[in-house]
Chain A
């Protein structure tokens, strides 16, 4: 860990552009100990007034400092947005969820082991250095939207549910703005070190959920052990059915790309159709058409296909998971 200046922000206006924000610190502190991140100035925002879950229009406004465990347990979230509650509870461990915040969780860095290991080349850590993951151990890497410069994934669960819920990220800074979560995380291309649209001097102040979508909510996370493991693949699903047909389908996928993945063609196929295994197989085929692996993690292609089919069967009542 390098020496740094620790500050407590008195207000959002107080944040300097060169400051790195710390809230729960569940990821940042690990990265600082390893010197993968070495911010000269660390600004603690935990005492700013950025908490609370409040109605906003027909939806909800979730303050950036709301802890993962509080959000998962919030009665309105559990009632109206259960996919979010389930995704949160599928993430990390009880201790980590007690510390991790809504805004911080969106900023979680990848779990690519080569990113965490300063002996290894990493374009994300050191732009232009190369990617040691390619040709190495790639169990948790991306099959969608990756590039030859970086095959890392965004590892979180919460954001996958938020993507299926069409959440919007509220950002304060020199020019306050709102960014749909779909546009918040960036694919690597040839700049894998740029992971979000957040600019220096900007801060996430809230996440806004639109009106409750209704329907069946599922979060299915496939992982190497039953708890405290990152997703091999995950599926967040909000599925409405009317008169035996799918009326609403929102599907987001985790563990497979540098951002929570969503494919409008998949949802377009499902909407208006009768649930069937043939339909779900076709949906999976569309989803995975652009998929490719760089190594061992190619197994995620059939695994995601199966996870999607199982989730759709479950959400449409063709089969109960439990």
Chain B
């Protein structure tokens, strides 16, 4: 039986708080941790089917034009040059394959063919040296070089921000720039395709299998039911594996043509060329307020870029319409159509750079008004969503600000430039954290066997986030089983289709489906116990109702199973759903060299119910680390002449290292959000990023008086503002 739920209204019964096993929320280690650290968890490229051969993508060495001829590859088995090959990755949740036809070159590095050989080395050598004839074209590669488009759905306005600026007691009107970012997941993208008649199985590094299956079937021109995707373990995604990409499509095409399993793994450099980048942004922020710091006008004008044929627009100002109150408001998203690599979702698309820059602007407004940055934010929190007047599903920003200020010792902050220790200038900074919350349709099946073991099955992925563990905890809690009696099977399209991992919606969406499946099983047990489900207590393999207690094995004939099916519903529209928090940083800036060292960093987050305190905390640690990267180190640079990615490995693309990251402190605010399904849990993965970099940059200003508005704040940019 399938239990369906569309989230059309609130859920106030706190069912999970009344379960008896006491395992949900516990800081358990990851179930698959031992497999990963011992190398037994096989990632996409780690299978070795019999007779497998290796493919390496051939890449365009010109930024635009047409492929006229692809030469031979001596020593190789085949050169696959097929019109079904894709030019770039699908976007997250696309229901069709990405643009195919590799002969039309849209950016430098685009995949145009595949060389297949008996060994990886032979294939790579051939792919690196194959002769390709092009008809080249001249194209713009700099965002400023073209007149941007203004997609109608990406603009909003109320009142008159120009006038608010004229009439305001205090204003800020500044421009910030952020560079392209790369997900830079540890595991490079890879796939192994193997055909059996008309049926193909692809082991791949993917985040969202159910939509990936549609994309892949469309790209290959086959029926969905003839395609099975396997992604049991994924070595990080951060958005870069939301959609299928060139390597998996090429592997499937080649495997069919050769009649042998084919592996295609990207080299690290290819990942930088072919995975989606986060668009660089240019953000003009205008803030107008009265002398008490109450905002009257908010303007957020954004310029991003993408290829002419890709619809994705980095939603930079996504949180701007509802974070702070102001009568006059304007959001502009302009898109420059240029020929850098395809832009798409990277680690908290939108807020990662949008909230970060906005919160830097708020710090400048605090300075200009002379109002404490925490107080300034508290004065501008809206009661309902501005412009729509929708209520918030929950709102924890004020509490996160107050609690954070207390825990961090914010009252010890000194005016800019007043704390010096030797060569180092010390400063404190803060920022609000906000991220939209989403639920996505999701299904799961749970089977309870007579021996008291439960199996959870869904095509949900665990991209290193802890999904195996939290879904296991949920089932254990609902069914009253110890953890070792729950098995979780993920990453296989033979299982019920789930939301996949992305946009921070995975845990809540797939979690709710597991909850529903377990609720169905609980109902079956309750029938066997002749009681109402709400009166049923399940704990340690025993079922209790009133004064009757029976082992589960007595109540199950063979096995019982239930499916859960969650759909987002009316609360998506009726309420503004978001997660909230605050970021705090203390940094030291070297007064000679402009180097910044983050000394302390803390985040306070409210995300509804916390499903596993350890994996939740780890998500926040990762997010805050990326915040340090956005603020200080990360930049994917493009050649100004042909747009190609210049920093193409992990030595040159500067993700923060351990030495850049101090001990990070994470606090969760207890919360149950009633409008996001019975789990009452919201997305968390990305909240830790949104605004984290602003806390660091605002601390830099408090330390040394320098505002860096062209991110990242590398030493050269800081010293430009320091005295000799």
Contact = CB atoms under 8 A, between A and B. Distances in A.
Given A116-B648, A225-B660, 7 more contacts: A2-B125, A3-B125, A119-B61, A136-B639, A222-B593, A310-B590, A320-B422
Contacts of A117: 644, 648
A228 B716 contact: no
A299 B128 contact: no
Given A135-B640, A136-B640, A225 B715 contact: no
21 contacts: A1-B125, A2-B125, A113-B647, A113-B652, A119-B108, A119-B644, A136-B639, A137-B638, A137-B639, A139-B637, A220-B593, A222-B594, A222-B715, A223-B595, A225-B654, A299-B720, A303-B715, A306-B593, A307-B592, A314-B423, A321-B423
A225 B716 contact: no
A322 interface: yes
A190 to B, nearest CB: 24
Contacts of B659: 225-227
B714 interface: yes
Interface in B57-78: 61
Nearest to B660: A226
Contact of A137 (B594, B632, B646): B646
B558 to A, nearest CB: 53
Contacts of A118: 128
A303 B641 contact: no
Interface of B: 61, 108, 121, 124-125, 128-129, 267, 269, 422-423, 590, 592-595, 597, 632-633, 637-641, 644, 646-648, 651-652, 654, 656-660, 714-716, 719-720, 724
Nearest to A136: B639
A136 B633 contact: no
A113 B660 contact: no
A113 B597 CA distance: 27
Given A119-B61, A227-B657, A299-B716, A306 B592 contact: yes
A56 B130 CA distance: 53
B73 to A, nearest CB: 14
B423 A319 contact: yes
Contacts of B592: 306-307, 309-310
A319 B657 CA distance: 28
Contacts of A220: 593
A226 B597 contact: yes
Mostly helix, strand, loop or mixed at chain B's interface? Answer: loop
Nearest to A310: B592
Contacts of B422: 319-322
A232 interface: yes
Nearest to A222: B593
A302 interface: yes
Size category, A interface: 35 or more
Contact of A228 (B594, B638, B657, B720): B657
A94 to B, nearest CB: 10
B125 A35 contact: yes
B108 A1 contact: no
Nearest to B628: A225
A224 B647 contact: no
A135 B641 contact: yes
A139 B647 CA distance: 11
Given A111-B651, A111-B652, A137-B646, A303 B657 contact: no
A225 B633 contact: yes
Nearest to B591: A310
Contacts of A279: none
Contact of A225 (B423, B646, B656, B720): B656
A229 interface: yes
Contact of B657 (A119, A222, A226, A320): A226
Contacts of A310: 423, 590, 592-593
A299 B658 CA distance: 27
A3 B75 CA distance: 11
Contacts of A33: 124, 267
A322 B108 CA distance: 45
A113 B647 CA distance: 7
